[in-house]
Amino acid sequence: MRVRRYWACVEVERRESRNDSIRARVWGGSDASEADALERAKARAADTDWDALAEQRRRPSNAHNYSYHRGVTPEHIVDEFLDASGSRYAAITVNRYGAQVLNTASLGFVDIDADRMNPKTLERVNELARETVQSRPREPVAGEPKRGILGRIAAFFAGSFVEEDVWVPVPTERVEAWVRAAPGRGVRAYRTAAGVRLILTQPPMDPASAETARTLEAFGADPAYAALCRAQESFRARLTPKPWRMREMHHDRRTIGYLDYADPSAEIADWIERYSDASASYSVCEFEGAWGAADPHDEHAAQLIKLHDEATGVGVDLPLA
């Protein structure tokens, strides 16, 4: 797992022309000390992939590709889990928009999200819907604003931007086919605000392996998520709500970097407190069902599944966000 206790960064720059240059931060991570993290950052800076940086600048819609390819995403550690040998098998970190994320070394997670801004993602979701008997629109709840474009605009100005209207079907046929393909496989499925989450309970998975890449693709996982799993050498599962889906946050999006937790400003500290308070009124997942060998593959996996279900609010009947 490329999760580290300490991070440090150095600035790099290359002049392209008299009036143009490429600048970036290069991060190094360490479990030993900040000084060691800085030395690692300097070593990586000496080997900067300028072609990747130039490509990122040409394609701003892929702003995080450099992190995916280089395998470094500095995140503050909230908690970590070590085995008897002292090796980290999981950690809870804070991602760039302030949500807590569970990182796991061998417990597989698959997120299938409906991203309205990505036609390829919607095409994949529609494909799942066509082949799955569960593909039906969610029944409207009394008192909810009408959805669709006009409904979403009305909801936005009314201060209600919780994305509860996306029905991504659990890909039951694909799940059952994967479970049947080899003995001892198991899956737990969850509903999320805009998609489906699968936990691969058995067997243990290697997030950087070709087999895992094929599994994620077969289930229809977001390609960016699959790339991040390979680069970080860990699976990731968001435990707390997305802030812009909570009415109480008033669509207040922030970029919460690693350094913000080392020395938070008053503004960031206030945002974190408001986010924590608002999160208590929402869940992240609803349990949908299990297939195959749904019991965890070892005691560590069992601990993490229990933690996941409690942290994401499974079974508490709150709005998903």
Contact assessment for residue 66 and residue 78, using Cβ atoms and an 8 Å cutoff: no
- 29 occurs within a structural domain: yes
- Judge if 163 and 110 occupy the same domain: yes
pTM for this prediction:
0.80
Q: What is the pLDDT of residue 64?
A: 39
Closest CA relative to residue 25, chosen from 2, 42, 9: 9
- 59 occurs within a structural domain: yes
Cβ partners under 8 Å of residue 128, min gap 6: 112, 135, 168, 169, 171, 174, 220
What percentage of the chain has pLDDT greater than the value 90?
A: 56
- Judge if 66 and 176 occupy the same domain: no
What percentage of the chain has pLDDT greater than the value 70?
A: 78
- Judge if 200 and 236 occupy the same domain: yes
Return the structure tokens found at 122: 């919607």
- Judge if 301 and 171 occupy the same domain: yes
Does the pLDDT of residue 177 top 50, yes or no?
Answer: yes
Which conformational region is residue 258 in: left (phi greater than 0), alpha (psi within -120 to 50 degrees), or beta?
Answer: alpha
For residues 303-315, give the mean pLDDT: 97
- Judge if 192 and 233 occupy the same domain: yes
More confident residue, 159 or 31: 31
Q: What residue numbers bound the domain in which 306 lies?
A: 102-311
Q: Other CB atoms closer than 10 Å to residue 173's CB: what's the count?
A: 14
Distance CA 209, CA 203 (A): 14
Instruction: Provide the domain count of the chain.
Output: 2
Strand order in the sheet with 108-113: 108-113, 195-202, 186-192, 286-292
Return the structure tokens found at 257: 């970097």
- Judge if 58 and 120 occupy the same domain: no
More confident residue, 123 or 184: 184
Q: What is the pLDDT of residue 61?
A: 45
Q: Measured in Å, how far apart are the chain's first and last C-alpha atoms?
A: 27
